A = this chain, B = another copy of it.
């Protein structure tokens, strides 16, 4: 039996992939056991449950499981970093069943400073799927902590985090802007209006226009149910406004999305209003990345590596 058990283990959930000897996904299991809400029995119990019944195979995990508050800290690697550097810097622990679990390190950018953990694996998985992007590309991974990254010659050479998703959640769940009593309803026009408000905010930035959500609502010019979509547009729009202003990310190269389909579509729509075209998102990037890094880390036998080449 050859193959790999790859685990994408983040803050709020855990996804385990069983890959065959060629790197193909043959089974996927998802649990709500992120690093912050483990079952009784903790990490060991979560792992034992999610791999139950699967054959004994090398195990490789990425994401917050390797953070200081995770199972075992996997120290950050500095930039530039390619898949081989990640594969050569795995942290190993032994779980209660006596098997080894290896963890992919995160990346640290001294410029910022900034850190990522989990996204590096998705990025190298996507790169393995679309090798043409290895030479020169820009990457956008929307999410709670949206990441922008630059790739040159197969290595991540720069990246930065925007807290767009977390700010959106905070504003929608806890701020006065969301205290409307109305359940949210999808409103693409309110979203577009939010994007355009951010785009028109110039160097002052869209934070200076945040309160417009409340004033427009009081005016009757924005339905209470549409406030979340307006805020989503305003914050995603601010991400693009700010990225353009920073002139840090090449936009004359392919700009590749990785992430959840509906969120990526929001980003694609917002980007179009800034004249930026984003490629369709790539799927199963984490699984492909774990496979790629396992190969580079020598976790798979020579036969397996040959099969995948």
Residues of A that sit less than 8 Å from B by CB: 68, 108, 112-115, 144-145, 160-163, 166-167, 170-171, 173-176, 202-205, 207-212, 214-216, 218-219, 221, 238, 242-243, 245-246, 248
A112 touches B163 (CB 8 A): no
B145 touches A113 (CB 8 A): no
B210 touches A163 (CB 8 A): yes
A248 neighbours in B (Cβ, 8 Å): 204
Question: B205, B211, B238: which contacts A161 (Cβ < 8 A)?
Answer: B211
Given the known interface contacts A212-B112, A245-B203, the answer about A218 and B176 at a Cβ–Cβ threshold of 8 Å is no
Further contacts, 11 of them, CB under 8 A, given A113-B221, A162-B207: A113-B215, A114-B212, A144-B176, A145-B211, A163-B175, A173-B174, A203-B203, A203-B205, A203-B242, A205-B205, A207-B207
A166 neighbours in B (Cβ, 8 Å): 175-176
The 9 closest A-B pairs by CB, nearest first: A203-B245, A161-B211, A205-B205, A204-B246, A203-B203, A113-B215, A170-B170, A204-B242, A204-B245
A144 neighbours in B (Cβ, 8 Å): 176
B114 touches A205 (CB 8 A): no
A207 touches B208 (CB 8 A): no
B202 touches A112 (CB 8 A): no
Determine how close the nearest CB of chain B comes to the CB of A78; give it in whole angstroms.
12
A170 neighbours in B (Cβ, 8 Å): 170-171, 174-175
Q: Summarize A's interface: helix, strand, loop or mixed.
A: helix
Count the copies. 2
B219 touches A113 (CB 8 A): yes
Given the known interface contacts A68-B218, A203-B203, A245-B202, the answer about A208 and B162 at a Cβ–Cβ threshold of 8 Å is yes
Task: Give the interface centre of A161, A167, A171, A204 by most chain B CB atoms within 10 Å.
Answer: A204
A163 neighbours in B (Cβ, 8 Å): 175, 207, 210-211
> In the complex, which residue of chain B has the Cβ closest to the Cβ of A216?
B113
Give me 7 A-to-B residue pairs in the complex whose CB atoms sit less than 8 angstroms apart, sorted by A's number.
Answer: A113-B221, A114-B211, A170-B174, A203-B246, A207-B238, A207-B242, A208-B246
A215 touches B114 (CB 8 A): yes
| Bound Cα distance from A205 to B245, whole angstroms | 9
A214 neighbours in B (Cβ, 8 Å): 115
| Bound Cα distance from A246 to B302, whole angstroms | 61
